[in-house]
Amino acid sequence: MAHPSQLGFQDAASPVMEELLHFHDHALMIVFLISTLVLYIIVAMVSTKLTNKYILDSQEIEIVWTMLPAVILVLIALPSLRILYLMDEINDPHLTIKAMGHQWYWSYEYTDYENLGFDSYMIPTQDLTPGQFRLLETDHRMVVPMESPIRVLVSAEDVLHSWAVPSLGVKMDAVPGRLNQTAFIASRPGVFYGQCSEICGANHSFMPIVVEAVPLEHFENWSSLMLEDA
């Protein structure tokens, strides 16, 4: 999860998020090189009184500074499109979960089970136990098996919401009357935090998302206990 004074992204917990981090570093390096070149040219023009007569009117230079940006845009666009299609791929999900946004909590329904669903409310600050995070902990976590493709169907009951978990590389708008879908694979066990990312009213800041990825055996035990309690 994020920590104070953090400059970069959260550690990746899914293959798609790893790709996004690599693309971010790739694009940032290109931006850094362009900025360095532009800064050098500005300093050189300001600090010298010499003029190169071949630069004043040169077809070759005009060709270079027309073609070079086009090449750079292609180098950015191709990996970007690749990741865009990867994020849309949903191949044979092992589990489907329906996430419904409400003012101001989330409800989850495991559609592969007959009667497995619950509401997920933020734990008030005064009820937190040592080690829990303020404004991020919920009374019920969305538990998923690790290393399994998970499909999440996202919608809303009242107003616009957005189901987002940065470390999993997932962000999907929850629109009333519309069913959106996204997918992820948790590549390691852990607890991953997110928040509603669409301004949805007075308590928008108080509807966190907690995804807990566990080994398949532990998930089966958890689902059996939840079904018994239901």
The domains spanning 15-88 and 95-229 adopt the same CATH topology: no
Could you give the angle at which helices 59-88 and 15-47 cross, rounded to 10 degrees? 160
Per the structure block, which two tokens stand in for 168?
A: 């999993």
Give pLDDT, residue 151: 95
d(CA 141, CA 122): 10
Give pLDDT, residue 90: 85
Residues 109, 97 contacting (CB under 8 angstroms): yes
Q: What is the pTM of this model?
A: 0.85
What number of H helices and E strands is found in the chain?
4, 10
Structural domain boundaries in the chain:
15-88, 95-229
Per the structure block, which two tokens stand in for 193?
A: 């935090």
Residues 171, 87 contacting (CB under 8 angstroms): no
Give pLDDT, residue 58: 76
* 160 Cβ neighbours under 8 A, 6+ residues apart: 173, 174, 175, 176, 198, 200
Give pLDDT, residue 5: 87
CATH code given to domain 95-229? 2.60.40.420
Separation in Å, CA 24 to CA 8, 49, 183? 10, 39, 21
Give pLDDT, residue 230: 64
Q: Which residue has the tokens 């500005």?
A: 42
Q: Which residue has the tokens 């066990």?
A: 189
- Render pLDDT for 115-149 as a digit per residue (tens, 0 to 9): 899 999 999 999 999 999 999 999 999 999 999 99
- Tell me the sheet residues that pair with 150: 95, 184
Give pLDDT, residue 91: 82
Per the structure block, which two tokens stand in for 7?
A: 């400059």
- Render pLDDT for 67-93 as a digit per residue (tens, 0 to 9): 999 999 999 999 999 999 999 888 889
d(CA 29, CA 209): 32
Residue 188 has pLDDT above 90, yes or no: yes
Residues 161, 101 contacting (CB under 8 angstroms): yes
* pLDDT, the chain, mean: 92
Could you tell me the fold of the domain covering 15-88? Helix Hairpins (1.10.287)
- Render pLDDT for 28-56 as a digit per residue (tens, 0 to 9): 999 999 999 999 989 988 888 877 777 77
Q: Which residue has the tokens 């998970």?
A: 150
Give pLDDT, residue 229: 79
- Render pLDDT for 161-172 as a digit per residue (tens, 0 to 9): 999 999 999 999
